[in-house]
Amino acid sequence: RLKHAINNNGHLEIGGMDTVELAQKYGTPLMVYDEQAIRERCRTFVDAFKEKKVKAQVAYASKAFNCVAICQLMEQEGLSLDVVSGGELYTALQAQFPSEKIHFHGNNKTKDELLLGLDAKIGCFVVDNFYELELLHKLASERNQQVNILLRISPGVEAHTHEYISTGQEDSKFGFDLASGQVKQALAKATQLPFYNVLGLHAHIGSQIFETEGFALAIEKMAKFLDESESELNWELSVLNVGGGFGIRYNEEDKPLAIHQYVYAICDKVQQLWSERNKPMPEVWIEPGRSIVGDTATTLYTVGSKKTVPGIREYLSIDGGMSDNLRVALYQAKYEAALANKMNEANDFTYTVAGKLCETGDVLIHDAQLPEAVEDDVLAVFCTGAYGYSMANNYNRMKRPAVLFVKDGHAQTVIKRETYEDIIKNDVAIFSKVISD
């Protein structure tokens, strides 16, 4: 189990706040982010590059959790921002995030999204395919606007949590395929197009990765490709973006490396290969999402009904579920939990923690070891900060939860809880009986 702060009332404490009181005051389900922890993760990434004396941009992959406040925090911490849709970009711009530090990803950015990025003069488009290579350049040339791009490549390295797979040709919807010569073709084209400034290459090999070999292999493949094509194309790479994917600990099976170990391994590999290649070091860009916010949030729920299936299991139901955390149903993700109001009691009971959504698969934790739970207890589920709120949904017309930042004994709402009015705000009554107010 992770170590948790427990106060004199035997309650779980986060950022100097009693979580049981937070649940009472703000209602549940409630997502509580430890703001200081987010800042520390950011600083660990930035500092690790400084320690290696490697020029870098750490771009927070905002798909993990995006809202105005987190964009503001990322700016304060000096990070760049990776966005993957008009919605994420719009949020960043509303937060007045410096547009020159925004990188725009996606395998099918629409014309409107590209125009939004061009209007904002964002720092870099990560061009994913031949269609976009043409379209973005056409739009840029129509406005006589110079744009920075990276080409996303599919390097034929796929990392899974415990291993990586190197395949000749990875079957992926993302990026130009390295093995079949698409990267060279795209680069030849891009470097000829007058409104493009081709900064370099991007490769993202996977998520929740626990080792560094996959990154090293992808970097080797890119270096080899550059050896074969740079001089021929009369172009030199200045940015190498190795994506995100650094793993975190959700449960005792997870054995991630420390943040600096991932960064050091990447820096060492690039430094080694670029010195062998006798070329100046490129800027190294990374895009961590999960490893910045994943373990910094805890979701609080209120315990409701219980059901015993004799001889089999005891269900403990809470007031949220797959509407605020889809990861269990989607990826069989395993979370740890505690009763926030009974932190000093022994975990003598085993429960199947079920959500309240109309779906048998809506189970948040299959075998939760907890003290005896009764109604109105507060269940805390840990490490829900990445891809929790960002994948939250309104299935069963559930209201998406409120999100707080807590720090030094203060709590701040960063996303309000949805209301029933929000739930129907885009509905249109088309029949004569009018909904009364």
358 is catalytic: yes
From 3-11, 212-220, 288-296, 339-347, give the range in contact with ligand LLP by CB under 6 A: 288-296
| Buried/exposed 228-254: b ≥16 CB within 10 Å, e otherwise | ebeeeeebebebbbbbbbbbbbbeeee
**In whole angstroms, how close is the CB of 57 to ligand LLP at the nearest point?**
13
Per-residue string for binding with ligand LLP, 48-87, x by CB under 6 A? Answer: -------------x--x-----------------x-----
Count of chain residues binding ligand LLP (CB under 6 A): 20
The reply to whether 16 sits in an annotated binding site is no
User: What count of Cα atoms within 13 Å lies in the side-chain half-sphere of residue 372?
Assistant: 0
Q: Does 289 bind ligand LLP (CB under 6 A)?
A: yes
Nearer to ligand LLP, 164 or 387 (CB): 387
Radius of gyration of the chain (CA): 24
Q: Does 204 bind ligand LLP (CB under 6 A)?
A: yes
The reply to whether 417 sits in an annotated binding site is no
The reply to whether 132 sits in an annotated binding site is no
Site for ligand LLP in 330-359 (CB under 6 A): 331
Q: Tokens for 41?
A: 């993760």
Site for ligand LLP in 89-148 (CB under 6 A): 105
Helix locations, 19-156, DSSP H: 19-26, 35-51, 68-76, 86-94, 111-120, 130-142
Q: Tokens for 323?
A: 């509407």
* Angle at alpha carbon of residue 56, lines to 38 and 117, rounded to 5°: 80
Q: Does 207 bind ligand LLP (CB under 6 A)?
A: yes
The reply to whether 41 sits in an annotated binding site is no
Q: How far apart are the C-alpha atoms of 147 and 2, rounded to whole Å?
A: 45
Q: Does 290 bind ligand LLP (CB under 6 A)?
A: yes
Report the 10 Å Cβ neighbour count for 130. Answer: 13
**In whole angstroms, how close is the CB of 425 to ligand LLP at the nearest point?**
27
**In whole angstroms, how close is the CB of 199 to ligand LLP at the nearest point?**
16
Q: Does 244 bind ligand LLP (CB under 6 A)?
A: yes
Q: Is the bond into 29 cis (omega within 30 degrees of 0)?
A: yes
Q: Does 155 bind ligand LLP (CB under 6 A)?
A: no
The reply to whether 359 sits in an annotated binding site is yes
Q: Does 323 bind ligand LLP (CB under 6 A)?
A: no
Report the 10 Å Cβ neighbour count for 24. Answer: 13
From 65-73, 190-198, 244-252, 317-325, give the range in contact with ligand LLP by CB under 6 A: 244-252
Q: Tell me the C-alpha to C-alpha distance, in Å, between residue 7 and each of 14, 208, 242, 340, 372.
A: 10, 32, 42, 10, 20
The reply to whether 213 sits in an annotated binding site is no
Residues 6+ apart with CB under 8 A from 53: none
Q: How far apart are the C-alpha atoms of 49 and 370, rounded to whole Å?
A: 41
Report the length, in residues, of the chain.
437
Element (H, E) at 30: strand 30-34
**In whole angstroms, how close is the CB of 243 to ligand LLP at the nearest point?**
4
Q: Does 321 bind ligand LLP (CB under 6 A)?
A: no
Q: Among residues 287, 295, 324, 362, which is the contact residue for ligand LLP, using CB under 6 A?
A: 287
Helix locations, 234-361, DSSP H: 259-276, 290-293, 327-331
The reply to whether 387 sits in an annotated binding site is yes
**In whole angstroms, how close is the CB of 191 to ligand LLP at the nearest point?**
23
Q: Token match 């991630």: residue?
A: 256
Q: Does 269 bind ligand LLP (CB under 6 A)?
A: no
Which of 124, 267, 358, 383 is flagged as catalytic?
Answer: 358
Backbone angles phi, psi at 192, to 5 degrees: -90, -20
Q: Tokens for 269?
A: 């590999």
Site for ligand LLP in 379-418 (CB under 6 A): 386-387
From 33-41, 48-56, 185-193, 287-295, give the range in contact with ligand LLP by CB under 6 A: 287-295
Q: How far apart are the C-alpha atoms of 45 and 264, rounded to whole Å?
A: 10
Binding-site annotation: residue ranges for substrate: 290, 327, 331, 359, 387
Binding-site annotation: residue ranges for pyridoxal 5'-phosphate: 245, 287-290, 387
Catalytically active residues are 358
Residues found near ligand LLP in the complex (CB under 6 A) = 61, 64, 82, 105, 204, 207-208, 243-246, 287-291, 327, 331, 386-387
